[in-house]
A and B are shown apart, each in its own frame.
Chain A
Amino acid sequence: MRRVLLQLLTAAALNLPALGALAHAFLNQAMPPVGGAVPASPKEIRLTFSEGIEPRFSGIEIATGAGQAIATGPAFPDPADDKQLVLSLLAPGRYRVTWHVVSVDTHRTEGDYTFSVGQ
C-alpha cells in the first residue's frame, strides 16, 4: 500500500502543476465582505475564487434584503486575474449577493451572502 500511496502522491504532484487551476472554485474573498456592512456605496462587488472561472457560465445576481431582484449589468471577469468576478454597483440598502461560477475544468459551485451599504 505504501508503494501505491507514493505512486498516487507522485502522480498528483506531477499533475497539479500541469492542471493549474483545475478544481471546484470555492469563494476565497468577497468585497464587500460576507455578512458585513460598508459605510458608502461601493463601486463594485468583487469576488475572488480559489480557481480560474469560466465567465460565460458564471454570474452574480443582486437582490434587496427583501428578496427583490435588482437589475444590473452583467458580471465580468477581471482581465488581470481570471479568479475574480466583478459587478458594478450600488445605492444604500441591504443586499443579497447570489453567485454561481464554473471553474475552467467545468466544475460548478454556487453561493449567496448578504451585506449592507450605508446602514
Chain B
Amino acid sequence: MLAASSTGRARFALATSLILAHASSAVAHGFAGDRFFPATILTPDPFVADEMSLPTAIINPPSPDGSREIDLEADLAKRITPDLGLTLSHQWERLKPPGMPAVTGLGGTLNAELDYQFLLNAPHQALGLIGISTGFGHTGRVQALGAPDFTTISPVIDFGKGFGDLPESMLWLRPLAITGTFSFDFPTKTQSAGFPNPNSFNFGFSFQYSLEYLQHHVKDIGLSAPFDRLVPLVEVSFSTAVNRGFGGQTVGTIQPGVIWFGQYVQVGAEAIIPASRLAGHGYGGVVQLHFYLDDIFPNSIGRPLFRY
C-alpha cells in the first residue's frame, strides 16, 4: 500500500520533472559581439561552452498532493569543437510525500545533449543553436522516485538576441536580451506501469536586463562592483503534453531572479512560481553556483577538444 501510494506520488514527480527536465539543463554562456549572455538557470543558453553548474539547489513548490521535493543538480558542458558541444547533467532528489518518510537518490534521468552553434551574429547580438537531447531511462530510482524506465529523445532549438543594436532613441532598452528554447519529446515507450508517456512540446524564455551592458556599453550611471555585474531576469518555462490522454495539459513555472557574474564563476538565485495548477502551489526557490571552465582552465579542459 505504501509502495503503491509512493509510486503514484513518485509518478507525479516524474511527470513534472520530465516535463521540466529540458529547461533545467541550462549550462552554456558566451558572447555575441559585445553582449555577454550569462548562463541562465531554468532555460538553456544558446551557446556551446566549457562550463559547469555545481550545484544547482532547488526547493520545488509543494506539489498538488503536498509532496515536497528538493533537487541537487550537476551540469557539465564541454566543447568538442568551437561550434559543437556536449552537455551532461543529472540530479539527486529528496522526495517527501505527506505522512510518509522521505525518499532520496538519483532522480530523473542522466541527460546528454549534443549541440551545434549554427548562428553567431556579432553586430546584431544574435545566437542560434540546434541540438539533440537524450534522457536515458533507468538512470534514476524508478520505483522510489518515479525516474523514467524509458529513454526520451528530444530535438532542440535555442536562440538568443541582445538589443544593443537598437537606435539611440531607445537607449535604455539596449541592455535587454531574450533567450528562448523549443523542443519536442519523443519517449521510447508509450507507457510505463500502465501510465501513458505522452509526447510533449516544451518552450521557455528568459528576459534579461544586463546592468553590465548598461554601465559599460550604454551609459555610465555610476554602478560599481558588484552591482555592475548583475543581470536581473525573469525566466519562464512551459511544457504541453500533446497526446495519449494528456493532450493540452500544461505545466510551467515563472522564475524571477538575479545573476551575478565574475571572472571565473557566477551565482544565481531565483524564486519559483508555479504557472499552472499541475506545477504545484505556493513558492519555491533555486540557487546555482556556476563555473567558467574556459577561464579557470584556459589551457587544458577549458578549450575545445578539437579546433575544427
The one of B55, B218, B291 in contact with A1, judged by C-beta atoms closer than 8 angstroms, is: B55
Contact (Cβ within 8 A) A113 B52: no
Contact (Cβ within 8 A) B33 A110: yes
The one of A8, A16, A51 in contact with B52, judged by C-beta atoms closer than 8 angstroms, is: A8
Contact (Cβ within 8 A) A26 B212: yes
Residue B264 lies at the interface, judged by CB distance under 8 Å to chain A? yes
- Which segment, of B2-10, B78-86, B177-185, B293-301, faces chain A? B293-301
The residues of B that contact A93 with a CB separation of less than 8 Å are: none
Residue B277 lies at the interface, judged by CB distance under 8 Å to chain A? no
A2 to B, closest residue via Cβ = B55
Give 1 or 0 for each of A69-86: 1 = CB within 8 Å of chain B CB: 000000000000000000
Give 1 or 0 for each of A12-27: 1 = CB within 8 Å of chain B CB: 1001100100111011
Known: A1-B74, A1-B92. A8 touches B216 (CB 8 A): no
A111 to B, closest residue via Cβ = B34
Tell me whether chain A's interface is mostly helix, strand or loop, or mixed.
mixed
The residues of A that contact B102 with a CB separation of less than 8 Å are: none
Contact (Cβ within 8 A) A34 B215: yes
Residue B219 lies at the interface, judged by CB distance under 8 Å to chain A? yes
| In the bound complex, CA of A34 to CA of B211 (Å) | 13
Contact (Cβ within 8 A) A34 B92: no
Distance (Å) between the CB of A13 and the closest chain B CB?
10
Task: Count contacts between A and B, CB distance < 8 Å.
Answer: 81
Distance (Å) between the CB of B162 and the closest chain A CB?
12
B90 to A, closest residue via Cβ = A1
Distance (Å) between the CB of B118 and the closest chain A CB?
21
Residue A107 lies at the interface, judged by CB distance under 8 Å to chain B? yes
Contact (Cβ within 8 A) A112 B217: yes
Give 1 or 0 for each of B103-136: 1 = CB within 8 Å of chain A CB: 0000000000000000000100000000000000
| In the bound complex, CA of A32 to CA of B291 (Å) | 33
Residue A42 lies at the interface, judged by CB distance under 8 Å to chain B? no
The one of A30, A50, A110 in contact with B263, judged by C-beta atoms closer than 8 angstroms, is: A50
Contact (Cβ within 8 A) A110 B216: no
Contact (Cβ within 8 A) B219 A36: yes
- Size class of the contact patch on chain B: 20 to 34
B221 to A, closest residue via Cβ = A35
Known: A1-B92, A105-B298, A111-B34. A23 touches B220 (CB 8 A): no
The residues of A that contact B33 with a CB separation of less than 8 Å are: 110
Distance (Å) between the CB of B220 and the closest chain A CB?
4
Residue B47 lies at the interface, judged by CB distance under 8 Å to chain A? no
Distance (Å) between the CB of B75 and the closest chain A CB?
12
We find that the number of chain A residues with CB closer than 8 angstroms to chain B is: 31
Residue B209 lies at the interface, judged by CB distance under 8 Å to chain A? no
Residue A88 lies at the interface, judged by CB distance under 8 Å to chain B? no
Known: A23-B292, A23-B295, A51-B263. A1 touches B219 (CB 8 A): no
B302 to A, closest residue via Cβ = A105
| In the bound complex, CA of A35 to CA of B175 (Å) | 13
Residue A106 lies at the interface, judged by CB distance under 8 Å to chain B? yes
The one of A1, A33, A112, A114 in contact with B34, judged by C-beta atoms closer than 8 angstroms, is: A112
Residue B54 lies at the interface, judged by CB distance under 8 Å to chain A? yes
Contact (Cβ within 8 A) A111 B292: no
Q: Which residues of B155-175 are within 8 A (CB) of A?
A: 168, 171
Known: A109-B31, A111-B34. A12 touches B296 (CB 8 A): yes
Residue B72 lies at the interface, judged by CB distance under 8 Å to chain A? yes
- Residues of B whose CB lies within 8 Å of any CB of A are 31, 33-34, 36, 52, 54-55, 72, 74, 92, 122, 168, 171, 212, 215-220, 228, 263-265, 289, 291-292, 294-299
9 tightest A-B contacts by CB?
A35-B219, A33-B220, A111-B34, A23-B295, A23-B263, A105-B298, A34-B220, A27-B216, A110-B34
